[in-house]
C-alpha cells in the first residue's frame, strides 16, 4: 500500500517515518523545498529522540520518500494523511486555512478512490468541511463521480517520546462512516495487532472530540495540582507528598500531577482554547476547561511573584535561567512557560543569562536581548539568582558547591522542583520551589 503524508512538521514526520517502519511505502509532502532537500539527505529539522535514526533507516530502505510534488503523491497513494499546522487565532479558535489548502489540492488531483485522513488536531465537524472542500475542488477540476472517504485518526504523540508513542501507542482511534475506509485504516495499523494495541472504532465526530477531551483533561490535572501547590505554600504542606498520595489512588493516577510554571507546548494551550471556542458554536459551555485556562495563566503570573519575592526589584539584576523548551527531551519552545517567564523578567528590567541542552537555536528565534551560555555553570556565573525553568535530567545532579561559588548571590528559584529543599538549605542557598 502507498500512502502520502502532507505536512512534514512534528506530527507529519513522525507519522510518515512510523508507517515506513511498519513496512509501508510512504511519501511525505511539503511546500518547503529546502526542508524536503534536507530530509532527503537524512537531516531531521527537529530534535526528537530516535526520529533521525528512524528517518535515515527508512529512507535507506526505500520506504520513505520526500517531495514537493503533491499531485504525484496524491495520485500514487490510497491513503492521504493531512498533518499540517492548525494554529490558534486571536479569539482562540483554530485556523484551518492550511487544512483547507490541502483539501483543495487533493480535490484537484483526485484520480480514483482515496481515503483522506485528518491527522492534525482539528475541531469537531472539520472532516465534513474537508469533504465539502475536496468535492468542490474536484468538481471545478472536472473530476466528477470519483469516490473519496474522509476519516479522522487523531495523534497522541508526546514530544520527547513521539517515536515510542507511534510504535507502541496506548490506543489507536479511527473515526469513519465508511466500512471500506475503516478496513483500510485498520490494515495500515495491522502491525500493532502483534502487541495487542486497543483500537477504538467510532464515527468521525467522536474521533475528533476524543483528542480534545484527552488533552483538556490532562491540562486540567496540571492546573489542579498547580492550584493545590499554592495552597500548600500557604499552609505549610508539601505538594510532592500530596500529589504522590493522590496518584496512588487508581481512580486518579500519578501522571500530570507535577506542579510547575504551567502547561505549554504546541497542544495544551491551543487545544483547550479551541475546545472552549468551538463548543460555544454548538451552544455548550466548557466551564471546567475555561477555568483550567484561567488557572494556567494565574500560575504563570504567580511564578513572577516568586522571583520578585526572592530577588526584590528586578531592574538591573542578572538572572540565570536553566531550561528554555516547554518540557525536557525536545527543542520545542512553542508556548513554553520558560520563554514566557523570561520575557516577563526582561520587561521588569532583568538581564537574562540562559542555557538549554537542545532548545538554544529555537529559543533564539523567540528571545532577544538574552545571553546564551555554554552550560549550567556558565549560566550561574555572576547571576543574582538561578532559575530552573525546564526539568532536564542533566540539571538534577549539578555540583551545588560550584554553583554557589559562581552565583553572585546564593539564590535558587526552582520552578520545576528539580532540587531537594532540605539539601539546598543545608548548602546555604536561599531556596524556593513550587508548593514545597
Check whether residue 121 and residue 262 sit in a common domain: no
- State which H helix or E strand residue 81 sits in: strand 79-82
Check whether residue 58 and residue 8 sit in a common domain: yes
b/e map of 75-89 (b: 16 or more CB within 10 Å)? eebebbbbbbbbebe
Closest to 148 measured CA to CA, from 115, 185, 182, 108: 115
pTM score above 0.85: yes
Check whether residue 190 and residue 222 sit in a common domain: no
211 in any annotated domain: no
Above 90 in pLDDT, residue 41?
no
Average pLDDT on 352-375 reads: 97
List the grid coordinates of 327: 518540557
User: Which structural domain range is residue 51 located in?
Assistant: 2-200
Of 166, 200, 234, the one marking the end of a domain is 200
Average pLDDT on 200-209 reads: 98
208 in any annotated domain: no
The span from the CA of 329 to the CA of 333, in Å, is: 11
399 in any annotated domain: yes
Check whether residue 54 and residue 112 sit in a common domain: yes
Check whether residue 189 and residue 222 sit in a common domain: no
**Beta-strand (E) ranges in 92-194?**
114-118, 148-152, 172-175
The pLDDT value recorded for residue 112 is 93
Band (pLDDT 50/70/90 cuts) for residue 33 is very high
Q: What are the tens digits of pLDDT across the range 280-290?
A: 999 999 999 99
Check whether residue 181 and residue 223 sit in a common domain: no
Band (pLDDT 50/70/90 cuts) for residue 143 is confident
Check whether residue 222 and residue 329 sit in a common domain: yes
196 in any annotated domain: yes
The span from the CA of 248 to the CA of 245, in Å, is: 5
Question: What CA–CA distances, in Å, run from 63 to 19, 74, 262?
Answer: 9, 16, 40
Contact in structure between 376 and 357 (CB atoms under 8 Å): no
Check whether residue 368 and residue 326 sit in a common domain: yes
207 in any annotated domain: no
Check whether residue 241 and residue 171 sit in a common domain: no
Average pLDDT on 383-410 reads: 97
Find the DSSP H helices in 282-407: 287-311, 337-347, 360-364, 376-380, 400-406
The pLDDT value recorded for residue 144 is 83
Above 90 in pLDDT, residue 42?
no
Question: What CA–CA distances, in Å, run from 308 to 84, 279, 385, 413?
Answer: 41, 38, 11, 10
51 in any annotated domain: yes
Above 90 in pLDDT, residue 145?
no
- State which H helix or E strand residue 108 sits in: helix 97-109
Closest to 171 measured CA to CA, from 199, 204, 211: 199
Average pLDDT of the chain is 96
206 in any annotated domain: no
CATH code for the domain in which residue 370 is found: 3.40.50.720
Residues recognised as catalytic: 267
Q: What are the tens digits of pLDDT across the range 56-80?
A: 999 999 999 999 999 999 999 999 9
Of 200, 233, 267, the one marking the end of a domain is 200
Check whether residue 128 and residue 251 sit in a common domain: no
114's CB contacts (< 8 A; 6+ apart) are 74, 77, 78, 79, 80, 106, 148, 149
Average pLDDT on 133-140 reads: 95
List the grid coordinates of 133: 472542500
212 in any annotated domain: no
The pLDDT value recorded for residue 117 is 98
Q: What are the tens digits of pLDDT across the range 423-434?
A: 999 999 999 999
- State which H helix or E strand residue 26 sits in: strand 25-29
Check whether residue 180 and residue 222 sit in a common domain: no
Contact in structure between 387 and 320 (CB atoms under 8 Å): yes
Closest to 346 measured CA to CA, from 328, 376, 321, 381: 321
The span from the CA of 236 to the CA of 258, in Å, is: 18
The pLDDT value recorded for residue 94 is 95
Average pLDDT on 197-217 reads: 97
What's the structural domain count of the chain? Answer: 2
The pLDDT value recorded for residue 260 is 97
Q: Which of 139-143, 315-319, 325-329 has the lowest mean pLDDT?
A: 139-143
Check whether residue 307 and residue 244 sit in a common domain: yes
Of 144, 165, 200, the one marking the end of a domain is 200
Amino acid at each position: 500500500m502507498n500512502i502520502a503524508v502532507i505536512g512534514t512538521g512534528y506530527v507529519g514526520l513522525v507519522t510518515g517515518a512510523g508507517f515506513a517502519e511498519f513496512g509501508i511505502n510512504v511519501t511525505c509532502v511539503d511546500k518547503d523545498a529546502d526542508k524536503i532537500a534536507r530530509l532527503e539527505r537524512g537531516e531531521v529539522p527537529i530534535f526528537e529522540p530516535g526520529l533521525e535514526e528512524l528517518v535515515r533507516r527508512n529512507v535507506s530502505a526505500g520506504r520513505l520518500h520526500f517531495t514537493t510534488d503533491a499531485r504525484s503523491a496524491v495520485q500514487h497513494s490510497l491513503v492521504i494523511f493531512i498533518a499540517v499546522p492548525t494554529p490558534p487565532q486571536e479569539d482562540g479558535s483554530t485556523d484551518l486555512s492550511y487544512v483547507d489548502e490541502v483539501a483543495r489540492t487533493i480535490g484537484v488531483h483526485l484520480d480514483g478512490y482515496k481515503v483522506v485522513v485528518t491527522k492534525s488536531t482539528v475541531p469537531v465537524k472539520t472532516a465534513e468541511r474537508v469533504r465539502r472542500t475536496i468535492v468542490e475542488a474536484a468538481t471545478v477540476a472536472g473530476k466528477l463521480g470519483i469516490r473519496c472517504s474522509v476519516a479522522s485518526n487523531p495523534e497522541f504523540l508526546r514530544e520527547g517520546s513521539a517515536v515510542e508513542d507511534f510504535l507502541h501507542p496506548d490506543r489507536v482511534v479511527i473515526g469513519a462512516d465508511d466500512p471500506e475506509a475503516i478496513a483500510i485504516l485498520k490494515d495500515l495499523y495491522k502491525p500493532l495487532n502483534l502487541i495487542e494495541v486497543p483500537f477504538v472504532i467510532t464515527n468521525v465526530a467522536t474521533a475528533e472530540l476524543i483528542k480534545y477531551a484527552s488533552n483538556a483533561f490532562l491540562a486540567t490535572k496540571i492546573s489542579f495540582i498547580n492550584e493545590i501547590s499554592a495552597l500548600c505554600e500557604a499552609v505549610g504542606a508539601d505538594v510532592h507528598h500530596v500529589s504522590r498520595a493522590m496518584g496512588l489512588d487508581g481512580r486518579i493516577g500519578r501522571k500530570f500531577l507535577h506542579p510547575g510554571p504551567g502547561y505549554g507546548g504546541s497542544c495544551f494551550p491551543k487545544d483547550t482554547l479551541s475546545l472552549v471556542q468551538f463548543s460555544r458554536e454548538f451552544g455548550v459551555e466548557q466551564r471546567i476547561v475555561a477555568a483550567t485556562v484561567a488557572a494556567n495563566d494565574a500560575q504563570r503570573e504567580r511564578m513572577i511573584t516568586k522571583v520578585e519575592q526572592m530577588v526584590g526589584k528586578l531592574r538591573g539584576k542578572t538572572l540565570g535561567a536553566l531550561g528554555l523548551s516547554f518540557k525536557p527531551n525536545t527543542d520545542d519552545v512553542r508556548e513554553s512557560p520558560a520563554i514566557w517567564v523570561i520575557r516577563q523578567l526582561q520587561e521588569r528590567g532583568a538581564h537574562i543569562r540562559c542555557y538549554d541542552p537542545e532548545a538554544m537555536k529555537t529559543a533564539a528565534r523567540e528571545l532577544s536581548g538574552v545571553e546564551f551560555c555554554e552550560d549550567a555553570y556558565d549560566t550561574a556565573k555572576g547571576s543574582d539568582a538561578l532559575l530552573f525553568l525546564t526539568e532536564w535530567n542533566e540539571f538534577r545532579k549539578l555540583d551545588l558547591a560550584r554553583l554557589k561559588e559562581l552565583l553572585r548571590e546564593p539564590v535558587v528559584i526552582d520552578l520545576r522542583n528539580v532540587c531537594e529543599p532540605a539539601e539546598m538549605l543545608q548548602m546555604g542557598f536561599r531556596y524556593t520551589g513550587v508548593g514545597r
